[in-house]
Amino acid sequence: MALLYSAPCYSLASASKLKLKNPNNLLSKTNSSTNVHLRGLPSYGNGNVYCSLIPKIVKTGVKIVEAPVVSLIDGLQPAIFTPPEGDLKKEDFPPDFLFGASTSALQTEGRGDEGGRGKSTWDFMIQASQGKKAVDSYNLFKEDVKILKETGLNTYRFSIAWPRILPNGTLESGVNQEGIDFYNKFIDELIANGITPIITLFHFDLPVLLQNQFYGFMRPNIVEHFKEFADLCFEKFGDRVKYWGTINEPYVFGSYGYKMGLPGDLKNDPLGPFIATHHIILAHAAAAKLYKEKYQKSQGGKIGISLPCKWYMPHSADPKDFAATKMQLDFQLGWYMDPLTRGEYPESMRKNVKGLPEFTPSEKELVKDAFDYIGINYYTSRYVKHTCTVDAMSGVINIKYAEQTADDEGNVVGPQAKGQEDIYVHPDGLKNLLLYVKTEYGNPEVYVTENGMPDKPTITGSVNDMIAQGKTAELEAAFYDDYRIQHAHDHLVAVREAIKEGANVKGYVVWSLMDNMEVGAGYDVRFGLNYTDYYDNHKRYPKKSAKWFANFLQAENAKGSNN
């Protein structure tokens, strides 16, 4: 999804009471000695990328070098690749490791009304009235499967649009058979091409009528409605789907997205995020329990949830910054992982959030262990600083924990992404986050369900028109995404190293398969391995990064191929 977020900032009585299970877990190894964590980072966008495709013989003095070359589109200069440092290879990962790409229905499927689909609370972002159709995957899903296979990816994480299956949100109001048929065809096409589907049941697109009638996740009614929607999906698709994700990025939706369409008094309720999140956790757990009890034995699948999290590091060696860092992790990752592994919210939340909902004994039993795997969506890292302000006139002392992009010596967490200013690239953050989950939460089965790199190239026309007009520089800026290859390489290295240290990581899924409508950023920001031509019927074209993945994964089309 790539919608960035910050953990809430709260005034606290004291940070000294926080207990750190293992403070060393909060420190990146790259960060363990002074002024070293930037020196080892690659320079993004420097053009140094590897792709073993067509060797081009280049004479440099007395040496003869074989430089791999790939032609992406007729009319553009062939791309020449040189390798980054490192020995990353597919064989570094277990034979059953899942390598995939991720998207969501809201961002890819289409206008929002085709095929009998009902209205979603976030449909306005598609901009259908301006001719935008997300990337029209509703009609081009076979093309999506084709590029997955050509890239060598063995899994595809996508979502089912709730209003496509239940246009008015409830089973009682009617099932849209056309929607059922669409997803059946999609799933069958994936499986026929050897691609494992990972299906997310809810990726932000709540049916409007549920939002209007029950204020969405602000009312407990949503738990039963989500459970019946999940039940229908398990029944219709579960014979072929072996990986289910209930709710994507509940932290993002529970903190911000749930407000869509709410009246002002509910939208501005300071307890709103905690109430919405409480119902999200219960909805997830109800669906997970249903699957485990009714379907898992016969269908043989797994169910989990995808949680977004930055990696956090202390701003300085001050113990208060260590406490602040643990607090920040509690309020983002622990908000969900503690209930799922321990049956209750983190101690820091229970102590400091007045009015925090509580789980009843039966709800604790429902929530605890309500997963087979955990998905981690990781994009960036931050330092965390403990600050204290005193208002001498009122006698009020405020202690806050604030995110920082640099530490106390001015070392920036990593290079800033060109396409989204909130993303600072820090591959070590992924490794340390995976190891933190291992240590703090009993080493559950984990999949990196989102990780990606944005760009924001200037595009003024269709691919064909720009080539005809000689505007090849625009296309090269978008297609020759060397920084994205370096990003994927370095984060895969981070995953590999986490596995070596015992993290139970089973897959890596990049965001995203193709450029699409980015929530909060529209169509200008591009995360895709494949280029989407919004000026020419959403045609897809592979970028350098797609070719690199094909070569890394040893896809058939990458062996001795130049296209």
Q: What is the pLDDT of residues 183-227, one digit of tens each?
A: 999 999 999 999 999 999 999 999 999 999 999 999 999 999 999
Q: What is the pLDDT of residue 3?
A: 59
How remote is the C-alpha of 127 from its chain's centroid?
23
Alpha helices in 215-374 (DSSP H): 221-237, 250-255, 264-267, 272-290, 296-299, 319-329, 335-342, 347-352, 361-367
Note whether residue 201 is domain-resident: yes
**To 5 degrees, how large is the angle CA 194–CA 236–CA 221?**
125
Q: What is the pLDDT of residue 388?
A: 82
Hunting for tokens 């990337």 — which residue is that?
Answer: 135
Q: What is the pLDDT of residue 80?
A: 76
Has 421 been annotated as catalytic? no
What is the spatial distance between Cα 357 and Cα 346, in angstroms, rounded to a whole number?
12
Which SS3 state, helix, strand or coil, does residue 49 take? coil
DSSP secondary structure code for residue 337 in this structure: H
Note whether residue 14 is domain-resident: no
What is the spatial distance between Cα 91 and Cα 221, in angstroms, rounded to a whole number?
48
Alpha helices in 415-481 (DSSP H): 427-440, 463-468, 472-479
Hunting for tokens 């989204």 — which residue is that?
Answer: 420
Question: Which range of residues forms the domain containing residue 183?
Answer: 23-558
Q: What is the CATH number of the domain that holds 549?
A: 3.20.20.80
Q: What is the pLDDT of residue 22?
A: 54
**pLDDT in tens for each of the 563 residues of the chain?**
665 655 554 444 333 334 445 545 555 443 333 332 322 333 333 333 333 333 343 344 444 445 567 788 888 888 776 666 788 999 999 999 999 999 999 999 999 899 999 999 999 999 887 878 999 999 999 999 999 999 999 999 999 999 999 999 999 999 999 999 999 999 999 999 999 999 999 999 999 999 999 999 999 999 999 999 999 999 999 999 999 999 999 999 999 999 988 988 899 999 999 999 999 999 999 999 999 999 999 999 999 999 999 999 999 999 999 999 999 999 999 999 999 999 999 999 999 999 999 999 999 999 999 999 999 999 999 999 999 877 777 777 777 889 999 999 999 999 999 989 999 999 999 999 999 999 999 999 999 999 999 999 999 999 999 999 999 999 999 999 999 999 999 999 999 999 999 999 999 999 999 999 999 889 999 999 999 999 999 999 999 999 999 999 986 665 544 33
Hunting for tokens 């900032």 — which residue is that?
Answer: 9
Exposure of 203 in the CB half-sphere (CA atoms within 13 A): 29
For residue 512, whether the previous peptide bond is cis, meaning omega lies within 30 degrees of 0, is yes
Note whether residue 13 is domain-resident: no
How remote is the C-alpha of 124 from its chain's centroid?
22
- Token pair in block for residue 417: 């992404």
Total domains in the chain come to: 1
What is the spatial distance between Cα 258 and Cα 206, in angstroms, rounded to a whole number?
9
What is the spatial distance between Cα 101 and Cα 550, in angstroms, rounded to a whole number?
12
- Which residues is 537 bridged to in the sheet? none
What is the spatial distance between Cα 66 and Cα 59, in angstroms, rounded to a whole number?
9
- Which residues is 54 bridged to in the sheet? 69
Q: What is the pLDDT of residue 393?
A: 79
**To 5 degrees, how large is the angle CA 521–CA 115–CA 259?**
40
Note whether residue 483 is domain-resident: yes
Note whether residue 407 is domain-resident: yes
- Token pair in block for residue 25: 């877990």
Q: What is the pLDDT of residue 330?
A: 98
- Burial of residue 470 (CB within 10 Å: 0-12, 13-18, 19+) is exposed
- Which of 109, 150, 249, 403 does the annotation list as catalytic? 249
What is the spatial distance between Cα 71 and Cα 51, in angstroms, rounded to a whole number?
12
What is the spatial distance between Cα 144 and Cα 551, in angstroms, rounded to a whole number?
19
Question: What CA–CA distances, in Å, run from 270 to 133, 255, 257, 275?
Answer: 35, 10, 15, 10
Note whether residue 18 is domain-resident: no
DSSP secondary structure code for residue 524 in this structure: T
What is the spatial distance between Cα 404 and Cα 328, in angstroms, rounded to a whole number?
12
Q: What is the pLDDT of residue 1?
A: 62
Note whether residue 5 is domain-resident: no
- Which of 109, 403, 450, 497 does the annotation list as catalytic? 450
Has 497 been annotated as catalytic? no
pTM of the model: 0.90
Note whether residue 396 is domain-resident: yes
What is the spatial distance between Cα 379 and Cα 448, in angstroms, rounded to a whole number?
11
